[in-house]
Amino acid sequence: MKNNQRDSGDLEGGDRINLLEQAMMQGRVDRRSFMKFAAALGLSTATAATMAQNAAAIEANQSALAANLQRQYDYIICGAGSSGCVVASRLSENPDIKVLLIEAGGSDQVPAIQDPGIWFTNLGTDREWGDKSVPQTNLNNRQINLAMGKAIGGGSSINVMAYARGHKNDYDFWAAEAGDPRWNYDHVLAIYKRIEDWQGAPDPAYRGTGGNVWVQPANAPNPIAPAMVKAAASVGIPSFDDHNGAMMEGPGGCSIANTTIKDGRRRNMASQYLHPVMARPNLTILTQAEVQKITLVGKRATGVEFIWQGKTHEIGAAKEVILSTGALNSPKLLMLSGIGAEASLKRVGIRAVHHLPGVGQNFMDHILLGGCVWEYTSPQAPRNNLAECTFFWKSDSRLDTPDLQPFQIEIPYTSEVTGKQFAIPPAAWSIAPGLVRPASRGYVALQSSDPRDHLKIHANFLTDPADMKALVRAVELCREIGNAPELREFAKREVMPGPLKGKDMENFIRNAAMTYWHETGTCKMGRDRMAVVDHKLRVRGIEGLRVADGSIMPRVTTGNTMAPCMIIGERMAEILKQA
């Protein structure tokens, strides 16, 4: 499914130019061939020569750095995801600091990552880790896929490119838990304004321009998206031009979604932060390198052990090791290194170096149902990321923060169960009910001491009755909006679920429940005995080791988590620069 915000010929040409440039950066195309192919794609000789020079410099630099690995770097960052890319970019701004960034996956310069319209084709491939939950009792014993990115850019390379900052109350809660006002909304808002290059209507109170992070409302959206904004208004959900402005300080609203798509291409965190600085001589980036454990002397982290090019390497960190491997792999690496609940480590044959019971606890994820579906009256081609309209709202007016975030999806969106239960026509669209303030909490545990083994992920979805109650309301609300007069011209009929009630509705939800792939919370920041990191993201009780990714969230943010993970990276860089 191609993004049609530009002429398809232009998009394909742009793709080819970008892939050609990346091929040269990776040493797969020489200068002569580059110039020949660039001319065939219509680039001027001068433009092609400049691109070739830059690409050659990056390829030569990274090849030389990788070929001459140092025994020690100042900082080792494990994971080039939405947080890790930021930390590596910011720390390497200081030419006197040597930074090593280790990523288990490969390049992000592949069509499935770059083309927003086929983002879902990354699922189930080697560009994600392939983790699954254990069978979930409250989801009719189903196992749920828990995709996390395994490529340069991490989750930002395989997600839906939806940019949601989070609610004011989220960050104020983090600050209270951490005991540090620099995690509060006012400080985080200032960071967002500094780093963004906002392309929507000017809003200096909330949005910034000229930064390195390109953000825009979905460009030339499918007509069902603005129709949904009107339909939501008809049931009492106010309309906003931007869901990341004033709207996220109040009870919610509906708008065209913010996306990180530029000129028909994904703008992941690697393209925003990492690619522009890969020519720096003090930044070494290794791909296809899997960290096995953190090396420790007593209770100080001294470096990491990893497998790269078929060999085991051990490299030291003079200052700090920073885990940015996500809410599954960061606690996994801590536990493999002997940091975690002593009894749990002992069960898999690992000697506890430091008893830290919160490691792997407090697992959270946003629930997304597949879903509420309507057949198109006349088929409409999906555009941008296939998901261009969203709303935030409260399932209960007494809540202080919106707990629901459904997304309109411009194709049929079903689970492996509901897709078989209902006769789903190919020309259909969806409103997927979403829960973004779950009350349920899970945990992750090692299966063995072998780093190759997947975790046991006890997600515990819908174990708290409040989550089922909220999702029932979410389905009702999505059906009300989808069947509203403002969307009638696009809806031949409602396909699923129909007017279910009581246990039938609850059973539908159990069968429809999937996730937003917003796994978070397993190394939470705080001051209680279950906190894993403190307000400066230091692992409690271990020197020279920090965690900077979605695992540190005390409570998951209200909305998609890519942008908040970027903020965690920015805060990590702030903290280290001020040390």
CA distance 462 to 139: 8
pTM over cut 0.85 = yes
Per-residue tokens: 175:
């600050």
User: Active-site residue numbers?
Assistant: 518
pLDDT of amino acid 58 = 82
Q: How far apart, in whole angstroms, are the C-alpha atoms of residue 10 and residue 344?
A: 55
The confidence score (pLDDT) of residue 60 equals 86
Dist CA 142 CA 442 (whole Å): 16
Cβ neighbours around 46 below 10 Å, total: 8
Q: Consult the annotation and say whether 366 binds a ligand.
A: no
Q: Is the pLDDT of residue 242 over 60?
A: yes
DSSP assignment of 122-170: GTTSTTB---BBPPBGGGTTB--B---B-BTTGGGGTS--B-----HHH
Buried b (16+ CB within 10 A) or exposed e, 525-555: bbeeeebbbbbbbbbbebebbbbbbbbbbbb
Measured CA to CA, the distance from residue 5 to residue 454 in angstroms comes to 40
pLDDT exceeds 60 at position 7: no
More confident residue, 395 or 23: 395
What pLDDT was estimated at residue 222? 96
The pLDDT of residue 110 is 87
Superfamily for domain range 14-110+269-358+523-578: FAD/NAD(P)-binding domain (3.50.50.60)
- 57-88: string of b/e by CB count within 10 Å (b at 16+)? ebbebbeebeeeeeeebbbbbbbbbbbbbbbb
Is 291 labelled a binding residue?
A: yes
Characterise 475 by phi-psi region: left (phi > 0), alpha (psi -120 to 50), beta (else). alpha
Share the mean pLDDT of the chain: 93
Q: Give residue 18's pLDDT.
A: 66
Cα–Cα distance measured from residue 432 to residue 409, given in angstroms and rounded to the nearest whole number: 7
* pLDDT exceeds 60 at position 237: yes
Measured CA to CA in angstroms, residue 67 lies from 73, 201, 285, 309, 336 at distances of 15, 47, 11, 11, 28
- In CATH terms, are 14-110+269-358+523-578 and 117-145+212-266+364-515 the same topology? no
Residue 5 pLDDT more than 60? no
516 is in an annotated binding site: yes
Which residues sit opposite 322 in a β-bridge? 77, 546
- Judge whether 539 is annotated as a binding position: no
pLDDT at 33: 73
384 — pLDDT class (breaks 50, 70, 90): very high
Instruction: Read off the pLDDT of residues 421-441 as tens digits, 9 standing for 90 and up.
Output: 999 999 999 999 999 999 999
For residues 117-143, one letter each, b for 16 or more C-beta atoms within 10 angstroms of the residue's C-beta and e for the rest, the string is bebbebeeeebbbebbbbebebbeebe
119 is in an annotated binding site: no
The model's confidence at residue 26, banded by pLDDT at 50, 70 and 90, is low
Task: Mention every residue, 6+ apart, whose C-beta is less than 8 A from residue 365.
Answer: 146, 438, 459, 461, 515, 516, 517, 518, 519, 520, 556
Q: How far apart are CA 144 and CA 129, in angstroms?
A: 13
- Amino acid, single-letter form, for residue 310: G
Q: Which of 557, 488, 487, 491 is nearest to 521 (CA)?
A: 557
Under the banding of pLDDT at 50, 70 and 90, the label for residue 31 is: confident
The per-residue pLDDT for range 160-202, each reduced to its tens digit, is: 999 999 999 999 999 999 999 999 999 999 999 999 999 999 9
Q: List pLDDT tens digits, range 297-344.
A: 999 999 999 999 999 999 999 999 999 999 999 999 999 999 999 999
User: Across residues 137-153, what is the average pLDDT?
Assistant: 97
Locate the domains of the chain by residue range: 14-110+269-358+523-578, 117-145+212-266+364-515
CA distances from 74 to 33, 97, 139, 322, 464 (A): 38, 6, 46, 11, 44
CB 1 within 8 A of CB 117: yes
- Structure tokens, 479: 């059906």
3-state helix, strand, coil in the chain (%, to 5): 35, 20, 45
Around Cβ 453, how many Cβ atoms within 10 Å? 12
Our CA angle for 537, 576, 61, nearest 5°, is 115
Q: How is residue 182 written in tokens?
A: 């620099």
DSSP-derived secondary structure letter, 249:
G
15 pLDDT more than 80: no
Q: What is the pLDDT of residue 53?
A: 65
The answer to whether the beta carbons of residues 106 and 285 sit under 8 Å apart is no
pLDDT band at 1 (very low <50, low <70, confident <90, very high): very low
Q: Are 420 and 319 in contact (CB under 8 A)?
A: no
Taking the domain 117-145+212-266+364-515, which CATH number applies?
3.30.560.10
Residue 284 pLDDT > 90: yes
The share of the chain scoring above pLDDT 90, in percent, equals 88
Residue 288 has a CB neighbour count (10 Å cut-off) of: 14
pLDDT at residue 392, rounded to an integer = 98
Supply 19's token pair.
Answer: 């892939």
Q: Rounded CA gap, 147 and 562, in Å? A: 14
Q: What is the pLDDT of residues 401-416, one digit of tens each?
A: 999 999 999 999 999 9
Query: What is the predicted pLDDT for the residue at 37?
Result: 66
Say whether the peptide bond before residue 357 is cis (omega within 30 degrees of 0).
Answer: no
| Whether residue 3 has pLDDT greater than 70 | no
